[in-house]
Structure 1
């Protein structure tokens, strides 16, 4: 029963995120807003409820299936992607470098904060 409540909670946060995104006309997908809400709730709670852990473990088993639509999209729109391969490649490389830079900065700040709290 924990898994059902956990899944209901995850779906509820997703729907809440979709509602916030639609209501305020945000350029951020509702699923991302829902994940941010989940992150905030988990931080405030200080742990992962068993229902959410159980539901997310069940979803992670099928994570590979979520890549099937992307693969089909590449197959269907292969010719279009060939026409725009350069801007797409540049965007992917820049986004990856930006993500790595931000992640490294956040990690460095986190380490610095945790060391200063220990002293």
Structure 2
């Protein structure tokens, strides 16, 4: 369990390092997740090792939003002048997230259907 947490934190730190060195406008944890996804694609055994810890973190994900909520409450006065911009950003990003999620899900479903058809198709060389 400790090793799994260490792997997750190592990739977050690696992402932070890459973001700092390259000065890209992408958060370090996002870069770390992409790098970790690449490693998981290459090593499915690692995915099985970090899954229990990852599921535990996901089960308590709502706790990670508490600091953000406190920050919003503490800066409420400063945000009043930005209310329209914040609202537009929230609505637009929500719509975009739903659209991207639908496109990815549709693409994956089509891919699975093609794979299923290929597996179910009769093989003429075996006849």
Query: Normalising by the residue count of structure 2, what TM-score does the alignment of the two structures yield?
Result: 0.80
Structure 2 match to 1:10 = 8
Range with bigger deviation, 37-46 or 16-25 = 37-46
Structure 1 match to 2:22 = 24
Rounded Cα–Cα distance in structure 2 between residues aligned with 1:59 and 1:102: 24
Structure 2 match to 1:36 = 34
Structure 1 match to 2:123 = none
Question: Any residues of structure 2 matched to 1:65-104 within 5 Å, and which?
Answer: 65-104=63-102
Rounded Cα–Cα distance in structure 2 between residues aligned with 1:64 and 1:115: 35
Alpha carbons of structure 1 residues 14 and 84: separation in structure 2 relative to 1, 3 Å: same
Secondary structure of 1:42's match?
A: helix
Q: Quote the offset at 1:41 in angstroms.
A: 1.9
Q: Residue deviations 1:74-115, cap 9 Å, x none?
A: 211111222211111001100111111111111111111111
Structure 2 match to 1:116 = 114
Alpha carbons of structure 1 residues 112 and 88: separation in structure 2 relative to 1, 3 Å: same
Question: Any residues of structure 2 matched to 1:40-79 within 5 Å, and which?
Answer: 40-46=38-44, 48-50=47-49, 52-60=50-58, 62-79=60-77
Larger Rg, first or second structure (1 or 2):
2
Gaps of 5+ in 1: none
Question: Which of structure 1's runs of 4+ aligned residues deviate more than 6 A?
Answer: none
Q: Quote the offset at 1:18 in angstroms.
A: 0.9
Q: What is the alpha-carbon root mean square deviation over aligned residues?
A: 1.7
Q: Residue deviations 1:24-70, cap 9 Å, x none?
A: 111111101111122222222235232x1233244345433322211
